[in-house]
Amino acid sequence: MGRLRIGGNVEKVDGRELSYKDFVERYMKPNLPVVLTGLMDGWSSCADWVTPDGLPNLPFFSSNFAQSIVQVADCGKKEFMDQKRIEMTVKEYIDHWLGIVNENCVSCLDSNKNSCSLLYLKDWHFVKEYPEYDAYTTPAFFIDDWLNQYLDSHFMHRNSDRDGAKNDVNCADYKFVYMGPKGTWTPLHADVFRSYSWSANVCGKKLWHLLPPSQSHLVFDRNLKNSVYDAYDKVSDVQFPDFKKTIWLECIQERNEIIFVPSGWYHQVCNLEDTISINHNWFNAHNLAWVWNLLLKDYHEAKEYIEDIREISDDFEGLCQRNLAANTGMNFYDFFSMIKRFALANSIQLSCLKYERNAFAKSTDKHEQLVYNLLSIQAVALSMKPVDAFTKENLKNKVVENHLAEILLEPEFIKLSMSLNQTYGMANEVLEQNYQSKMETSCLDSQNMGFLQDYSEFNVCCPEDLVKLVDHAISDHSSICNSCNLSLPSDASDLGSKLFKIYIV
């Protein structure tokens, strides 16, 4: 330890004095980390999971969640690019933890940590397993979460080998509890899907080292295949010649503090005390392009890996997609199905607003958000267009529901739309109720709802169709804007990946 070059510390801000808009402008859009304080008051987890002296209340876990089966990482054993994982019950885990209290285990900052077998409980889908136990409230800064919103109503890999995973809590969301004694740690990584993460310390203290994405290439070996596993260990100059050039942000995260980890930042984390944390991974319009770019990169790698069996494979593209889903967690078709539904849900909400008198006066922010979302989906769809996997031939039988009329009537889609409306419409309850009744009516009788009928005529088979859908929603919207003294910027039809805003004229 001590070998990392530190360029600065992660900024700490009182979350109660920060508006959502400021959070977006200062951290989410520019993709910069921050620690937010003051946002965990009243969480049951902060009361129930912590003893009066600020230590993890381990007996509480043994008494209330004993039989849960959890993933535990052995911090002393490397397996591929992660720590070796084992499964055990919470009771077994807590018993092990209590058993090591008197042992002298070396810490994560010790370069000789292989001799230690500290166990770290990770990726526990706690909310999924105990929905009735209200452990915490997701802070408003993090609720624009398409990943968990989608997974609350839909499943990934609908047509793949993993279809049977529907009842498997371990595949169901990206909302986790982590707990481990002092010295447990997480190896250097960038998060799943290159999503954002937030991580809240219910008790204990974590040391974070974060590397900006502009330096990601420096942690890879000469072949750009493997990345450094343990940034605190002696890193071979021969294998990783550029690692010595890295400059890190450091952060000591105390109890009751929440860190926001932006997209694509490599990070390594070490528990400086016995620690319990809650974390979510998520993405939205601001980092959707990161997710797509990672999928594209992993797709090319998956393809290259099996290139030599292309000739003998009946469905080479299908095989690439199965491998992509297995390695990355979703494939192109999962992603396309997902963004198609978000495009539709956002378009409907936008249309819905035109039926509201004075809606513009009340919810300019909501309009801006919906348009921003649609434009970010369109920008991604545009970059999907030239990709092989999305040719008509390759798409045959891959994307199931092409007619939006079918999607509009899916109960899962209605649930998704409602939850989207809640996310953006919280400030406008009247609008929300009206919208809700419209959606409910529409399920029974979509013919009567002009704006829904509009979309039900669309057929979205490929990225190009998605681009058109967004064009339709936006142009419809911009005509309304004109009559309400709102307008889109003149280059909105360009629909690139630029930043966009609705200007009040």
Smallest gap from Cβ 137 to ligand AKG, in A, equals 18
Between 191 and 317, name the residue whose CB sits nearer to Fe ion.
191
Q: What is the DSSP string of 4-54?
A: SEEEEE--EEEGGG--HHHHIIIIITTT--EEEES--TT-HHHHHTB-TTS
Report which residue's Cβ sits closest to Fe ion: 191
Q: Which residue has the tokens 């740690």?
A: 185
Q: Contact between 197 and ligand AKG (CB under 6 A)? A: yes
Between 33 and 463, name the residue whose CB sits nearer to ligand AKG.
33
- Rounded-to-integer distance, Cα 305 and Cα 311, Å: 14
Question: From Fe ion, ligand AKG, none, which one binds at residue 277 (CB under 5 to 8 Å depending on kind)?
Answer: ligand AKG
Between 177 and 353, name the residue whose CB sits nearer to ligand AKG.
177
Two tokens, residue 22: 């400021």
Smallest gap from Cβ 39 to ligand AKG, in A, equals 16
Residue 392 near residue 473 (C-beta atoms within 8 A)? no
Residue 35 near residue 253 (C-beta atoms within 8 A)? yes
Between 156 and 207, name the residue whose CB sits nearer to ligand AKG.
207
- Rounded-to-integer distance, Cα 46 and Cα 137, Å: 11
Partners of 281 in the β-ladder: 197
Residue 172 near residue 151 (C-beta atoms within 8 A)? yes
Q: Contact between 144 and Fe ion (CB under 5 A)? A: no
Smallest gap from Cβ 259 to ligand AKG, in A, equals 7
Two tokens, residue 41: 């008051």
The stretch among 115-123, 183-191, 300-308, 395-403 that binds Fe ion (CB under 5 A) is: 183-191
**What single-letter DSSP state applies at residue 205?**
-
Q: Contact between 298 and Fe ion (CB under 5 A)? A: no
Residue 258 near residue 137 (C-beta atoms within 8 A)? no
Site string for ligand AKG, 476-505 (x = CB under 6 A): ------------------------------
Range list of H helices, 329-458: 332-353, 359-362, 364-384, 392-395, 404-408, 411-425, 429-444, 450-456
Burial of 463 (0-12, 13-18, 19+ CB in 10 A): buried
Between 170 and 497, name the residue whose CB sits nearer to Fe ion.
170
Smallest gap from Cβ 86 to ligand AKG, in A, equals 17
Between 144 and 191, name the residue whose CB sits nearer to Fe ion.
191
Contacts of 380 (CB under 8 A, 6+ apart): 288, 289, 292, 339
Question: Which residues in 277-306 contact ligand AKG (CB under 6 A)?
Answer: 277, 279
Smallest gap from Cβ 389 to ligand AKG, in A, equals 29
Site string for ligand AKG, 174-193 (x = CB under 6 A): ----x-------x----x--
The stretch among 104-112, 187-195, 303-311, 453-461 that binds Fe ion (CB under 5 A) is: 187-195
- Rounded-to-integer distance, Cα 157 and Cα 171, Å: 11
Alpha-carbon distances of 42 from 45, 260, 336, 495, rounded to whole Å:
9, 20, 39, 43
Site string for ligand AKG, 242-281 (x = CB under 6 A): -------------------x-----x-x-------x-x--
Partners of 266 in the β-ladder: 211
| Residue 353: how many other CB atoms lie within 10 Å | 23
Question: From ligand AKG, Fe ion, none, which one binds at residue 347 (CB under 5 to 8 Å depending on kind)?
Answer: none
Question: From ligand AKG, Fe ion, none, which one binds at residue 341 (CB under 5 to 8 Å depending on kind)?
Answer: none
Between 157 and 267, name the residue whose CB sits nearer to ligand AKG.
267
**Of how many residues is the chain composed?**
505
Between 78 and 468, name the residue whose CB sits nearer to Fe ion.
78
Pairing mode, strands 5-9 and 206-211: unpaired
Smallest gap from Cβ 330 to ligand AKG, in A, equals 18
Q: Give the SS3 label for residue 214.
A: helix
| Element housing 289 (H / E) | helix 288-305
Q: Contact between 199 and ligand AKG (CB under 6 A)? A: yes
Between 125 and 206, name the residue whose CB sits nearer to ligand AKG.
206
Question: Which residues in 134-173 contact ligand AKG (CB under 6 A)?
Answer: none
Report which residue's Cβ sits closest to ligand AKG: 186
Question: Which residues in 316-355 contact ligand AKG (CB under 6 A)?
Answer: none
Residue 34 near residue 26 (C-beta atoms within 8 A)? yes
Q: Contact between 191 and Fe ion (CB under 5 A)? A: yes
Question: From ligand AKG, Fe ion, none, which one binds at residue 284 (CB under 5 to 8 Å depending on kind)?
Answer: none
Q: Contact between 123 and Fe ion (CB under 5 A)? A: no
Q: Interface residues with Fe ion (CB under 5 A)?
A: 191
Q: Interface residues with ligand AKG (CB under 6 A)?
A: 178, 186, 191, 197, 199, 206, 261, 267, 269, 277, 279
